[in-house]
Amino acid sequence: MKVLNLQCAAQHGFEGWFASEAEFQRQLAEGLLTCPVCGDHTVHKLPSAPRLNLNASRESASAVQTKRSEPHPVSASEGVDAPATNAQALHAAWLKLAREVVRQTEDVGSAFAEEARRIHHGEAPERGIRGQATVQETLALVEEGIPVLPLPLPAAAKETLQ
């Protein structure tokens, strides 16, 4: 199993798991890879280095146990992945939020502005809705006192993971 660090054109980083390098290349060539954040098909592999723990095999079990009980200073190389890890956690949290919005709202499509007005005026049952509206429609809703939140949802939020 190959675990690859991938990135889309918008620089969203994510992981991909593949049976082999050839399988990754096949899926990439067929356009099957998409960014889980924005749905972009322009995906490329990031360089990564394996972590090899060569000293562990040389140490005795008692030495390893003693080391575990002592405070562990953080070396400069250990902190290198912190920003990437934070970015990945942020992307994962955003995708989780987007999926929750999709789960709890009704998609009314391009009729969003009209349906928001109907709900606001009591002509339709109150419920969470989502859909598409132009900038002008959104501004008009705000001017009418109808609360709206522009929220771009990634295509991945509307689908289940495999």
pLDDT in tens, 11-51: 888 888 899 889 999 999 998 998 888 888 899 999 876 66
> 41 and 2, same structural domain?
yes
> 99 and 127, same structural domain?
no
Print the domain residue range for 137.
105-151
Q: What is the pLDDT of residue 72?
A: 47
35 close to 11: Cβ distance less than 8 angstroms: no
User: Is the model's pTM score more than 0.85?
Assistant: no
d(CA 36, CA 19): 20
Residues 108-118 as b or e (16 or more Cβ within 10 Å = b):
beeebbebbbe
> 38 and 20, same structural domain?
yes
Cα 41–chain centre separation: 14
5 close to 15: Cβ distance less than 8 angstroms: yes
Q: Is residue 62 part of a domain?
A: no
